[in-house]
Amino acid sequence: MFNAISWEQFLTTASLLVGSYYLITTIIFYHNEILAWVNNRGKTKTTAPESKPSLPNLMGKVQPEPIRPIRKQTVEADEMNFGPATQDEEVSQPPADTKLITGSVADLLQEIKTLAEMIAENNSPQEESIALFKSLLEHYPNVRDSPFREAVTIVIHTTCKDDCHFDIELNEVKQWWQNP
């Protein structure tokens, strides 16, 4: 049966069928647009300003910034002070050790947190935990003599009460700093 037709006849017939299908569907679905295009084809085009669709003003309208008066103020050079009034006054600068101590305090606080987590996780007894905290504090003698000692003591006390659930007094924690 397929020997009776050639490839040329088959492709021509298939092309005509597919082309007519698209032509008919285009006319059915787009007949209004096609008629408008045919009617406007003979007329000269006039350029009308395009109207943009009105979008809602989501962020509000741009308002110009109010004009502020320019302040003209003069100051004598003698009235300007950038440092101490006299040379006898000292400028208070933190000692160079403060940076080192601050780093040590940060390390100590991290170790306190880690130690408290281990104590809470293992349900360690209070006596053993106190010995661990004392041992930790011995490794930071520079913090013992610094102004951060009181703050670290309060952190240890709070951590023991909250995380480790020990009933301990602040004065007792202050004694852990004493030399062995």
- Quick: pLDDT tens for 138-151: 888 888 878 888 88
Q: Count structural domains, the chain.
A: 2
Residue 137 lies in a domain: yes
CA–CA dist 65, 63 (Å, integer): 6
Residue 67: pLDDT over 70: yes
Give the pLDDT band (50/70/90) at residue 25: very high
pLDDT value, residue 23: 96
pLDDT value, residue 180: 47
More confident residue, 82 or 8: 8
Domain with 119 in it: 97-175
Residue 56 lies in a domain: no
CA–CA dist 148, 140 (Å, integer): 12
Q: Are residue 103 and residue 167 in the same domain, yes or no?
A: yes
- Quick: pLDDT tens for 29-53: 999 999 999 888 877 666 655 666 6
Residue 70 lies in a domain: no
Q: Amino acid letter at 94?
A: P
Q: Are residue 36 and residue 101 in the same domain, yes or no?
A: no
Residue 132 lies in a domain: yes
- DSSP conformational letter for 1: -
Residue 180 lies in a domain: no
**Angle, alpha carbons 91-92-96 (nearest 5°):** 120
Residue 111 lies in a domain: yes
Residue 83 lies in a domain: no
Residue 20 lies in a domain: yes
Residue 1 Cα to chain centre, angstroms: 74
